[in-house]
Structure 1
């Protein structure tokens, strides 16, 4: 694909079109094609858990994925079979994903934090036929297997010996042919490509299905939002168990001609280690949630040579203006925000041909007609709050097909020709969108509608706060009062004095009426396994306490 140069965002939105070739399959039409034309082109720089650097070219991914595809086919995996993949950021993850694409199997990328119960639920709900798992996860998968009648094929990756009944990924590849011609009934186009389980912040996770045309929607992400050119080295700090991995470590980056940089750290990231990785390996483009930038700016950035870094993006949370300014002052680089969901590719973003507004998620991406609709079904004017909705005709490339096996849930979000995202925002006079939060999370207090992200963003600018979750609690006077549930940094103690200090701090940072009238100090916040805060759980607990 050839990147075009658009000087203005208006020109970009009006004239960029996503090309959708007939019978598209990413593994054959991108990876194998590059390998045939330029086999030694670097595809990945991988930094292992011990710091070892390995470079892999496209010929490697083409041949290894073909080997594994042959191994999967020999084990009885075919077109349409669903395969759960629970791997860390090891190279095997990319090999396994490509192999599934070639065979026509439907990978279900899954986080390594899944419990036995989680694995059982997902395998049975999705009727999963096989699991490709990290050796450290294999015992949980084996335990779950007892209650999962659909499971037939088990493959282990890692240094440990595979248990009885399990195949070893490395052995399977070594013993298989490196040739896997495109099948006559190749999975492509509108065939099922992969399934993500949603994070389930308000209930059991749903199965989000994407087709083989889905990767094409990520070209905008890689070439334009990440601003990648051939030879660029891009790092997205994301776990392979979630959708952000294919957003930033796979499809769009390789289509844009960039090198995917992978840092396979285990456990929590260390900001000083991350900065050293960025500097030592000359990363040129970087994407991470705002929280990561918030931790990095607390370090002495002058110790690190970040001169190779030329473009930075962020998504997943609200970006605080102070973080934006501190990062820009230290590096000279603005932060470009973006918005999308597990159900989609990038929908709204700040692109390099736009002037970033800190805290704004930007403007709609080409091919995505976005509107804001209020609770009465009316289109919102500038300055009015509404739900982010996507026009379905024409259907954007990269939008999910629906929630598998749950037609009512699909019907609930596909309404009157729009996909209703469940997220609220408002648009300013310049056409920039400002994210407010999930529709269920908005707080109605004394006639005001308050988005939790605004208050959380203000709270975390105080040195005492590590994390914050803002919810509404019943109030006889205001209908709802703003409540903050916070985790304190070391060296700070909860008490009335700190509460008053935090309240006054919020009043100075944002509109005074938004300050939290209740502050609850906790050791940790309830979260999904993807790390999203479970505000619904906090609200349910408060409601139960009120009734007690």
Structure 2
């Protein structure tokens, strides 16, 4: 009979001593005021920083001293009566063991890259923290062979489902040295993570990393071309989500935060690791192998979840399922991001639950760029206002700042000083890195307007904007109108080559990236063929 995950991790746990950071006062560190001051530009980024030792281990000390609510740091359920709960102390202990697996059995050294492809299982969180401790860079992917070759990863971690596929392409990936499987049974040619974790000591010393050393590499979603490698430093995500975690996500140590993002999407790092844990909140995870509205709603009703984050597409499905038949006893704050939230969905969720949805906007290359924060007036359909430390402007093609109401490119000021929480570059792609800059700004590739109150109003991707008889049409506006019809579940609008009037096509399913974003580039190719530009009507 298979042991439950709870019993498995419980068998590994023994009390450990976590020492506080020797160079800073615990109070200023763990209450996050120091890191929030960095976000607001009131403090300089420290020379050295490591999220595992400077945040998680510090929370373990606070917890051990009885100065944090009794919520777990991590709470995982699978809907089949299995659950895993870790305190910060347990998370610290187990992640040290996992780091020893990487540096010992896997032979990884500081700076080596590890490619992780796992579903929402506890091991993904352990390995994420273990990579920080060992100084290795973690990558997350879908098209495995392409990313293995592009990243030159030396180690890959998967579960039983993907292992056969990895074996079929491993010979093509010259840098790959170690294959690590998360499984209850062994596989020839693979190291078994669960077995090695049980044997590993927990006396690893966290590497001393400089703030600007590489920590994470994510691939872009591929919604506008070939995925690119985006490199982030230890301080970028580790410190950069402090202000938005506190004010947009409205998190504190007493909160239990559930973010439904898949582990392959950068939003999972944002909202299931860095933002909640730097605020001392509990990360709640449901295994959720596929999106089922009734499972989401019943989970929100059954567990003391205070804060909820899911994609706008998911909210659309939830309101169609009718949330009024569920009672959410603890839920008090809802956020979203990843694609625009239609005002219709905002109003339906508010009507059914009594709760607003606070929309935020960011990219793989950035932390939160804009957001609607608690206490701020929400303008449904708006992305909110600029989040610190960003100066967000709307630019024309020449790099001039547009006046209120005029359309342009969403841009972040990067000169004279580049914000610490932005990506460093597109790895191995200097031309793309250079092309993302215009004057003293980073160009996001998204189009918008800014109103006189500073709210940003999304129009569409730069290559999504439709030119029809001299009119520039943002697909989001058309999509918002379409989904108001009860027969429309979701919509994506691209231009069609019809020289007179164009058309909108109704289909059974829309192509999407692994993050759940609609791939308009695929739809455009169907209409125009590869490489064609938008010329026709909507």
Which band: TM-score by shorter chain?
0.7 to 0.9
Aligned to 2:179: 154
Aligned to 1:501: none
Aligned to 1:405: 428
- Whole-Å separation in 2 of the counterparts to 1:322 and 1:524: 21
Q: 1:361 aligns with which of 374, 383, 402?
A: 383
Q: Secondary structure at the match of 1:356?
A: coil
Q: Where is the strand percentage greater, Structure 1 or Structure 2?
A: 1
1:243 and 2:238 are equivalent in the alignment: no
Please show how residues 516-531 of structure 1 align to structure 2 within 5 Å.
517-531=502-516
- Whole-Å separation in 1 of the counterparts to 2:93 and 2:40: 37
Q: CA RMSD in A?
A: 2.1
User: Do 1:19 and 1:216's aligned partners in 2 also have CA atoms closer than 8 Å?
Assistant: no
Aligned to 1:265: 288
User: Do 1:123 and 1:148's aligned partners in 2 also have CA atoms closer than 8 Å?
Assistant: yes
- Whole-Å separation in 2 of the counterparts to 1:422 and 1:523: 29
Q: Answer with 12-21 or 467-476: which moved more.
A: 12-21
Give the drift of 1:195: 0.3
Aligned to 1:83: 114
- Whole-Å separation in 1 of the counterparts to 2:277 and 2:520: 36
Aligned to 1:166: 190
**For 1:377-433, what per-residue CA distance to the aligned partner results, in whole angstroms no more than 9, with x for missing partners?**
321000000101111133223210010000110010023121111000001122111
Q: 1:64 aligns with which of 87, 94, 98?
A: 94
Aligned to 1:131: 156
Please show how residues 102-501 of structure 1 align to structure 2 within 5 Å.
102-110=133-141, 114=142, 118-159=143-184, 161-183=185-207, 186-214=208-236, 215-267=238-290, 269-393=291-415, 394-477=417-500
**For 1:471-509, what per-residue CA distance to the aligned partner results, in whole angstroms no more than 9, with x for missing partners?**
1123545xxx5xxxxxxxxxxxxxxxxxxxxxxxxxxxx
- Whole-Å separation in 2 of the counterparts to 1:274 and 1:190: 38
Q: Secondary structure at the match of 1:35?
A: helix
> Which residues of structure 2 form unaligned runs of 5+?
1-29, 65-69, 534-538
User: Do 1:229 and 1:258's aligned partners in 2 also have CA atoms closer than 8 Å?
Assistant: yes
- Whole-Å separation in 1 of the counterparts to 2:362 and 2:503: 32
- Whole-Å separation in 2 of the counterparts to 1:319 and 1:66: 40
- Whole-Å separation in 2 of the counterparts to 1:276 and 1:472: 40
- Whole-Å separation in 1 of the counterparts to 2:304 and 2:421: 31
Query: So what's the TM-score if we normalise by structure 2?
Result: 0.87
Q: Secondary structure at the match of 2:496?
A: strand
What count of residue pairs does the alignment treat as equivalent?
492
- Whole-Å separation in 2 of the counterparts to 1:297 and 1:162: 43
Q: Secondary structure at the match of 2:321?
A: coil
Give the drift of 1:347: 0.6
- Whole-Å separation in 2 of the counterparts to 1:244 and 1:287: 10
Give the drift of 1:54: 2.5
User: Do 2:339 and 2:517's aligned partners in 1 also have CA atoms closer than 8 Å?
Assistant: no
**For 1:326-355, what per-residue CA distance to the aligned partner results, in whole angstroms no more than 9, with x for missing partners?**
211222211111100000000101101211
How has the CA–CA distance of structure 1 residues 73 and 15 changed in structure 2, closer, same or farther, with 3 Å as cutoff?
closer
- Whole-Å separation in 1 of the counterparts to 2:371 and 2:44: 20
How has the CA–CA distance of structure 1 residues 298 and 13 changed in structure 2, closer, same or farther, with 3 Å as cutoff?
farther
**For 1:73-99, what per-residue CA distance to the aligned partner results, in whole angstroms no more than 9, with x for missing partners?**
112101111100011111101100111
Give the drift of 1:105: 0.4
User: Do 1:314 and 1:337's aligned partners in 2 also have CA atoms closer than 8 Å?
Assistant: yes
Q: Secondary structure at the match of 1:193?
A: strand
User: Do 1:223 and 1:256's aligned partners in 2 also have CA atoms closer than 8 Å?
Assistant: yes
- Whole-Å separation in 2 of the counterparts to 1:319 and 1:18: 34
**For 1:95-137, what per-residue CA distance to the aligned partner results, in whole angstroms no more than 9, with x for missing partners?**
0011111110000023xxx3xxx21111111111000112211
User: Do 1:318 and 1:457's aligned partners in 2 also have CA atoms closer than 8 Å?
Assistant: no
Q: Answer with 533-542 or 350-359: which moved more.
A: 533-542
- Whole-Å separation in 1 of the counterparts to 2:47 and 2:526: 51
> Which residues of structure 1 form unaligned runs of 5+?
5-11, 482-516
Q: Secondary structure at the match of 2:115?
A: strand
Give the drift of 1:246: 0.9
User: Do 2:264 and 2:514's aligned partners in 1 also have CA atoms closer than 8 Å?
Assistant: no
Q: 2:130 aligns with which of 92, 96, 99?
A: 99
User: Do 1:49 and 1:266's aligned partners in 2 also have CA atoms closer than 8 Å?
Assistant: no
Aligned to 2:536: none
- Whole-Å separation in 1 of the counterparts to 2:525 and 2:114: 35
User: Do 2:436 and 2:443's aligned partners in 1 also have CA atoms closer than 8 Å?
Assistant: yes
Query: So what's the TM-score if we normalise by structure 1?
Result: 0.86
User: Do 2:362 and 2:368's aligned partners in 1 also have CA atoms closer than 8 Å?
Assistant: yes
